[in-house]
Amino acid sequence: DVKVTQSSRYLVKRTGEKVFLECVQDMDHENMFWYRQDPGLGLRLIYFSYDVKMKEKGDIPEGYSVSREKKERFSLILESASTNQTSMYLCASSPWRGANEQFFGPGTRLTVL
């Protein structure tokens, strides 16, 4: 079974803090994704990566950056957290470039005070 793990289930941070969300997948998948899920808006893509050190912006990259130094790990960074970044963050991976199915982690509920 593919396993996608996220470092925290719940996180509370203060405005202006730098926040790191970590995601690890154990199936040697090429692609990794970061989404945020908000009520009434579904899942929105923040960034994705199709290879180590490669990244592309999704639909809502503003205020976020990412890092993929190893194939199995994809980090989402909030350089200076703001209250409008309070959300559920979901990491996903997929096996190869053309794969359709994504495998999701359990999510991190981030609250920025």
Partner 1 sequence: DQQVKQNSPSLSVQEGRISILNCDYTNSMFDYFLWYKKYPAEGPTFLISISSIKDKNEDGRFTVFLNKSAKHLSLHIVPSQPGDSAVYFCAAKRPSGTYKYIFGTGTRLKVLA
Residues that bind partner 1 (CB under 8 A): 4, 9, 31, 33, 35, 40-45, 48, 50, 58-59, 90, 92, 94, 97, 100-107
Looking at the Cβ atoms of 19 and 90, the one nearer to partner 1 is 90
* Measured distance CA(63)–CA(56) in Å, rounded: 14
* Measured distance CA(21)–CA(3) in Å, rounded: 17
CB of 15 to partner 1, least distance (A): 26
Looking at the Cβ atoms of 17 and 104, the one nearer to partner 1 is 104
Looking at the Cβ atoms of 26 and 79, the one nearer to partner 1 is 26
Distances (CA, A) of 68 to 9, 12, 40, 74, 86: 21, 24, 30, 5, 23
CB of 13 to partner 1, least distance (A): 20
Counting Cα atoms < 13 Å in the Cβ hemisphere of 12 gives 1
CB of 43 to partner 1, least distance (A): 4
